[in-house]
Amino acid sequence: MKLDKSRFNILYAFISIVVIVLIPILYDKVYNSIKNINIKNAFVSAEIVAISPAYVSGHIKKIYAKNKNTVKKGQMIALIDDGIYKANLDKDISRLEAAEFRLKQFRISNPYSTQYETFKKDINVLEKEARISQLMLSYTRITAPFDAVVASVVLHKGDFVQPGKTIMYIYRPETLYIKAYIDRSLVKYIKIGMKVKVKPYNNMHSMNGTIQNIGTIDPFNTNNQNKNLVPIAIKIDKKYRNSLRIGLPVAVYIIKNG
């Protein structure tokens, strides 16, 4: 019995040593393989802004921007048929000019009449109506609210548009980021601030990125039906943004020791 116990102790010690040696090796192998996650379900995204008319409706007369075009703040990007708005303004201006002429004539012939103030009030009303017509006419000219890139032109010449109906989508280049989806089982192996490599599929060179958000946050309100996928946002270095375009598919690689 003593011999058997001695052999058992030796065997137990040997197994313990093997386990102690192998655990770090196996852990390192598994950990490194996890850190080398290849995320193929990824693409360039941005904070999209919808452009639509305010207060006016009508058929689109002209679109001045195309997909991927760069536009400057204040640049006209679409024109809504302004015929009716011009006619309204012309009518208001004619009424105002006629009223001002009558007031001038009345002032000459009746310098002390109490009706003079009544005429002035009428003119004030006509001036207000003319300003409103001028403002409505200006709304037919759709301009870029900021320096941007056109993501998608939705409507075209001849289409009918009204307040709240999107004509096109634009975005600021500085808001570009990578939207990726990772299997839920792998989320525990990543963290905010982790460095990644991003490789576009258009043969561009790899670029550096940083995991910025993980999970269901506002930028990811999409129709993603796969509950096993979790969205992540990856911030990309500023120097790469000018060479990227929204919708471009990319691959994401976790950087070792990131």
CATH of the domain at 66: 2.40.50.100
Residue 60 CB neighbours (<10 A) = 20
All residues at 6 or more sequence positions from 256 whose CB lies less than 8 Å from its CB, including other chains: 32, 35, 36
Q: Can you give 154-176 as a three-state secondary structure string?
A: CCCCCCEECCCCCCEEEECHHHC
DSSP lists the bridge partners of residue 178 as 44, 234
Do residue 57 and residue 86 come from a single domain? yes
Tell me what pLDDT residue 29 has: 53
Between β-strands 141-143 and 38-45, what pairing exists: parallel, antiparallel or unpaired?
unpaired
Tell me what pLDDT residue 17 has: 60
Tell me what pLDDT residue 125 has: 94
**SS3 breakdown of the chain: % helix, strand, coil, rounded to 5?**
40, 30, 30
Contact 60, 51 (CB under 8 A): no
DSSP lists the bridge partners of residue 161 as 58
Domain count of the fold of the chain = 2
Do residue 143 and residue 187 come from a single domain? no
Tell me what pLDDT residue 219 has: 45
Side chain identity at 92, as an amino acid letter?
Answer: D
pLDDT (tens digit, 0 to 9) for every residue of the chain, 258 residues total?
Answer: 444 666 656 655 556 565 555 555 544 555 555 557 888 889 999 999 999 999 999 999 999 999 999 999 999 999 999 999 999 999 999 999 999 988 888 877 776 677 778 888 899 999 999 999 999 999 999 999 999 999 999 999 999 999 999 999 999 999 999 999 999 888 888 999 999 999 988 767 888 999 999 986 544 444 455 678 899 999 998 888 778 888 889 999 986 554
Side chain identity at 95, as an amino acid letter?
Answer: R
Q: Which domain holds residue 238?
A: 36-47+173-254
CA contacts within 13 A on the Cβ side of 210? 6
The domain that contains 184 carries what CATH number? 2.40.30.170
